């Protein structure tokens, strides 16, 4: 008996199934037929929702980015200084973010390079504007002195994400050096007021995040 599902439910089922295949098998190796067989739908049903596998990828990445935007806005609305909020966003240590941690790990697979690039593009173009608002508030309160909040955070997010890819494979000394380099970047790019945020204190916070 054919199971009839509501439009949004069926669409989300395709996205969720595609995401699983993309992360475990790789985008290039995943076929539309893989998705069809898993959820038992006809090819015509698939193309009713998506014109191509690439469009499904956009939807998968879109969901990831939407979650990151929500997370950034929650942090923005929380208590604490602007710098503390930026560091909180960089942290991957909360249980709510376990799914993202798993996805980031799988993004390192060579076959997932396209997903990784699309996710980074989404972060730079959609999530960073929220973080830039946090920086602007910090600038008004004397924490930072950068004249370019958006460009600054885009530069920092892209750089730090790249620096700490596959961190579990790095030697402890390398991780330590990168933590120091990341702190230097943050202080120089944002022009952090060290009277408000002592440099050594920030290094200690970043060490807790990045050093196992």
Contact 123, 157 (CB under 8 A): yes
Q: ∠207-208-209 over CA atoms, to 5°? A: 90
- The domains of the chain, with CATH numbers, are 60-210 (1.10.357.10)
Higher pLDDT, 142 or 178: 142
**Helices marked H in the chain:** 7-25, 32-39, 43-49, 53-77, 82-90, 98-107, 113-122, 128-140, 149-163, 172-190, 199-210
Q: Model confidence at 8, in pLDDT bands (50, 70, 90)? A: confident
Distances (CA, A) of 106 to 28, 59, 123, 177, 202: 14, 18, 17, 25, 29
What is the mean predicted confidence (pLDDT) over 56-80?
A: 93
Question: pLDDT by residue (tens digit) across 120-160?
Answer: 899 999 999 999 999 999 999 999 999 999 999 999 999 88
Q: ∠209-65-62 over CA atoms, to 5°? A: 150
Question: pLDDT by residue (tens digit) across 81-119?
Answer: 999 999 999 875 444 455 555 555 556 566 667 778 888
The DSSP symbol for 142 reads: T
Those residues with Cβ within 8 angstroms of residue 194's Cβ, 6 or more apart along the chain or in another chain: 187
Question: pLDDT by residue (tens digit) across 13-51?
Answer: 999 999 999 888 888 889 999 999 999 999 999 999 999
Those residues with Cβ within 8 angstroms of residue 212's Cβ, 6 or more apart along the chain or in another chain: 167, 168, 175
What string of DSSP letters covers 32-49? HHHHHHHHT--HHHHHHH
| Residue 107, pLDDT score | 61
Q: Is the pTM of this model over 0.85?
A: no
3-state secondary structure of 164: coil
């Amino acid at each position: 008996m054919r199971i009839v599902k509501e439009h949004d439910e069926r669409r989300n089922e395709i996205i969720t199934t595609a995401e699983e295949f993309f992360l475990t098998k790789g985008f290039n190796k995943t076929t539309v037929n893989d998705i069809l067989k898993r959820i038992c739908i006809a090819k015509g049903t698939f193309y009713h929702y998506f014109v191509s596998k690439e469009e499904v990828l956009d939807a998968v990445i879109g969901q990831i980015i939407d979650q990151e935007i929500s997370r950034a806005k929650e942090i923005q609305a929380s208590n604490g200084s602007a710098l503390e909020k930026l560091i909180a966003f960089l942290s991957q240590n909360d249980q709510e973010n376990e799914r993202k941690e798993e996805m980031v790990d799988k993004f390192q697979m060579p076959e997932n390079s396209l997903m990784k690039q699309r996710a980074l593009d989404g972060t730079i173009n959609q999530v960073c504007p929220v973080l830039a608002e946090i920086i602007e508030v910090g600038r008004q309160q004397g924490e930072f002195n950068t004249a370019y909040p958006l460009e600054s955070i885009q530069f920092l997010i892209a750089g730090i994400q790249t620096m700490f890819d596959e961190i579990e494979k790095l030697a402890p000394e390398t991780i330590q050096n990168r933590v120091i380099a990341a702190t230097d970047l943050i202080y120089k790019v944002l022009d952090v007021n060290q009277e408000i945020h002592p440099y050594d204190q920030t290094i200690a916070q970043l060490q807790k995040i990045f050093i196992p």
